[in-house]
A and B are shown apart, each in its own frame.
Chain A
């Protein structure tokens, strides 16, 4: 079973992937919830435009998304330069850039199920909450958000999986630097490019499959608990 033992570089790739995916999730999830709520509850001029913009990374070739990120967030890009000059934050060729690419690619996949679950919550419940004295934000946090939690969880899992496996936008935006931006997907790709990399590629494929599977099981268990909580029984 020796060939199943992960090499240090592969461990590094796995840990980096988890770091990138969690960072992407942490930053993007609140934003996805906000955008999904606005799209579900409000009709305004430009509603369709915002909706299209959100879904753009889903339909664009990932390479294009990566290239656009490079143009905007690269060292010479307008946003990248601004952030570097004013806050000392740089996304160029580091793990944060990888997280940004993963987050952007995961965003539409998260917004969709979250929006659907918000639409399934009766907006009249918020009216009832308001008539009981709750301000809008309180009504959202105590009524709509908990009722939409199963959908939010689903969106988060989908987004996390996408972030873990992101390839095209990442390699275009932040390249393939070991220990910095070489995530599991990039490491597998690199291994397949080397004549002696078959075993390593296979090993990492198993690891990627295992992580994805574990995430799915965990989300299923959590969703069941949530549904029980909403569905009835005890408090």
Chain B
């Protein structure tokens, strides 16, 4: 779908990026200053790479050897900018339809459909400066969607919003990612957003792309600690809701090999859900402990132990088809005599899986392959 293999330069940053994605939501993840915006601008055609090739489906967007460099207008890439960039002198409606009246893009998508998808009906005659930050971003997303794009680039659409506004807009993004029907390149430095929304994860670090692949696989990798952020490291597991316990406010999720009990997540039996479990919230034991408040206790096999010199070790455990990631001290690894292949008991506090780490997104099966 989207194939990128380019080098470029902007200021002091040397960019060397290579990744491929097969559609769905591809997240471009990296810390501030890692070159995310530069890379998306190159894909969009706003900045010129030095060498390389970018293709989108059958269309060559850029090829330094052939001398191809499609202008921005011809790339048909919807671009949602971090700062929304709504046109301040135009109404919300004129902003939304700009691509039709100024860009000559007929568009197959129905205006009303997009307006309803993003909840913009009551804002149509307003001017951008009377909108809240979240509303502005929703209009920007709608405007990009209505430009008949072959790819939607979303450059940190939530970065300038406070947590309350983010929570307002995330459900719209969930729906968008499922219903848009076009590939999305989602740029973020928040591992939570990435885990919640994406199928494929591309890691960008100091202008390089050291790794890319299916999101669950990438989050489980322990060799990317620096790029993904050690503190927030965790594994992504997918499961099916099997029981909603209204008495105790718990939702039971079968992840294949174990059933997790997590705080009420507004889902019904049969829903496919995605949970992110942070490595630091997972504890390991060599025998089932007794008299414990922790509700999620299950057997797993140690898959790998990261070799590190610091106080911590990252342990990957497999439960059925899925991987759980645990961070414990190296001292514990020695004390418990952990090694690959050994059976352990995994302990996860239910309350550690909080609302923001759950999403009604697509199941992780049928993932994009490398």
B11 at interface (Cβ–Cβ under 8 A)?
no
A132 at interface (Cβ–Cβ under 8 A)?
yes
CB distance from A22 to the nearest CB of B (A): 27
A89 at interface (Cβ–Cβ under 8 A)?
no
A52 at interface (Cβ–Cβ under 8 A)?
no
B129 at interface (Cβ–Cβ under 8 A)?
yes
Q: Please state if A235 and B102 are interface contacts (CB–CB under 8 Å).
A: no
B104 at interface (Cβ–Cβ under 8 A)?
yes
Which residues in A have their C-beta under 8 angstroms from that of B322? Answer: none
B88 at interface (Cβ–Cβ under 8 A)?
yes
A220 and B183 CA atoms in complex are apart in Å by 50
Name which of A132, A147, A235 has the most chain B CB atoms within 10 A of its CB: A132
Q: Please state if B99 and A132 are interface contacts (CB–CB under 8 Å).
A: yes
Interface size on A, residues (CB 8 A): 25
Q: Which of B238-292 contact A (CB under 8 A)?
A: none
Q: Which of B45-85 contact A (CB under 8 A)?
A: 46, 71-73, 75-79, 81, 83, 85
Q: Please state if A230 and B88 are interface contacts (CB–CB under 8 Å).
A: yes
Which residues in A have their C-beta under 8 angstroms from that of B147? Answer: 131-133
A132 and B103 CA atoms in complex are apart in Å by 6
CB distance from B81 to the nearest CB of A (A): 6
B298 at interface (Cβ–Cβ under 8 A)?
no
* A128 to B, closest residue via Cβ: B85
A229 at interface (Cβ–Cβ under 8 A)?
yes
Which residues in B have their C-beta under 8 angstroms from that of A134? Answer: 73, 98-99, 102-103
* B101 to A, closest residue via Cβ: A142
Q: Please state if B102 and A142 are interface contacts (CB–CB under 8 Å).
A: yes
Interface range, B side: 35 or more
Which residues in A have their C-beta under 8 angstroms from that of B85? Answer: 122, 124-125, 127-128
A192 and B124 CA atoms in complex are apart in Å by 62
Q: Which of A91-137 contact B (CB under 8 A)?
A: 122, 124-125, 127-135
Which residues in B have their C-beta under 8 angstroms from that of A147? Answer: 88-89
Q: Please state if A132 and B143 are interface contacts (CB–CB under 8 Å).
A: yes
A133 and B144 CA atoms in complex are apart in Å by 10
Which residues in B have their C-beta under 8 angstroms from that of A232? Answer: 126-130
Q: Please state if B102 and A124 are interface contacts (CB–CB under 8 Å).
A: no
A214 at interface (Cβ–Cβ under 8 A)?
no
B312 at interface (Cβ–Cβ under 8 A)?
no
A129 and B97 CA atoms in complex are apart in Å by 11
> Contacts A133-B103, A235-B94 given: A230-B89 contact, CB under 8 Å?
yes
> Residue B72 contacts which of A124, A130, A231, A235 (CB distance < 8 angstroms)?
A130
> Residue B125 contacts which of A122, A129, A235 (CB distance < 8 angstroms)?
A235
Which residues in A have their C-beta under 8 angstroms from that of B143? Answer: 132
A139 and B127 CA atoms in complex are apart in Å by 19
> Residue A233 contacts which of B75, B76, B103, B127 (CB distance < 8 angstroms)?
B127
* A139 to B, closest residue via Cβ: B102
Q: Please state if A135 and B79 are interface contacts (CB–CB under 8 Å).
A: no
Q: Please state if A231 and B129 are interface contacts (CB–CB under 8 Å).
A: yes
B87 at interface (Cβ–Cβ under 8 A)?
yes
A214 and B87 CA atoms in complex are apart in Å by 33
* B88 to A, closest residue via Cβ: A230
A229 and B79 CA atoms in complex are apart in Å by 26
B91 at interface (Cβ–Cβ under 8 A)?
yes
* A229 to B, closest residue via Cβ: B89
* B140 to A, closest residue via Cβ: A128
Which residues in A have their C-beta under 8 angstroms from that of B90? Answer: 235
> Contacts A134-B73, A233-B127 given: A128-B79 contact, CB under 8 Å?
yes
Q: Please state if A131 and B78 are interface contacts (CB–CB under 8 Å).
A: yes
> Residue B102 contacts which of A125, A138, A230 (CB distance < 8 angstroms)?
A138
A231 and B130 CA atoms in complex are apart in Å by 9
Q: Please state if A131 and B94 are interface contacts (CB–CB under 8 Å).
A: no
* A121 to B, closest residue via Cβ: B88
B44 at interface (Cβ–Cβ under 8 A)?
yes
A230 and B87 CA atoms in complex are apart in Å by 9
A202 and B48 CA atoms in complex are apart in Å by 64
Contact with A along B274-316 (1 / 0, CB 8 A): 0000000000000000000000000000000000000000000
Which residues in B have their C-beta under 8 angstroms from that of A146? Answer: 89
* A141 to B, closest residue via Cβ: B102
B93 at interface (Cβ–Cβ under 8 A)?
yes
B349 at interface (Cβ–Cβ under 8 A)?
no
Which residues in A have their C-beta under 8 angstroms from that of B76? Answer: 133
Q: Which of A143-173 contact B (CB under 8 A)?
A: 143, 146-147
Residue contacts A-B, CB under 8 angstroms, 23 given:
A124-B81, A125-B85, A127-B72, A128-B81, A129-B98, A130-B72, A131-B144, A132-B102, A132-B147, A133-B73, A133-B99, A133-B102, A133-B104, A134-B99, A134-B102, A134-B103, A229-B89, A230-B89, A231-B127, A233-B130, A234-B125, A235-B91, A235-B94
Q: List 13 additional A-B contacts (Cβ < 8 Å) besides A131-B73, A234-B125.
A: A127-B85, A129-B98, A130-B71, A131-B79, A131-B144, A132-B144, A133-B73, A133-B99, A133-B103, A138-B103, A142-B98, A233-B130, A235-B90
> Ordered nearest first, which 9 A-B pairs have the shortest CB separation?
A133-B103, A235-B91, A232-B127, A132-B99, A128-B85, A131-B79, A130-B72, A134-B102, A230-B89
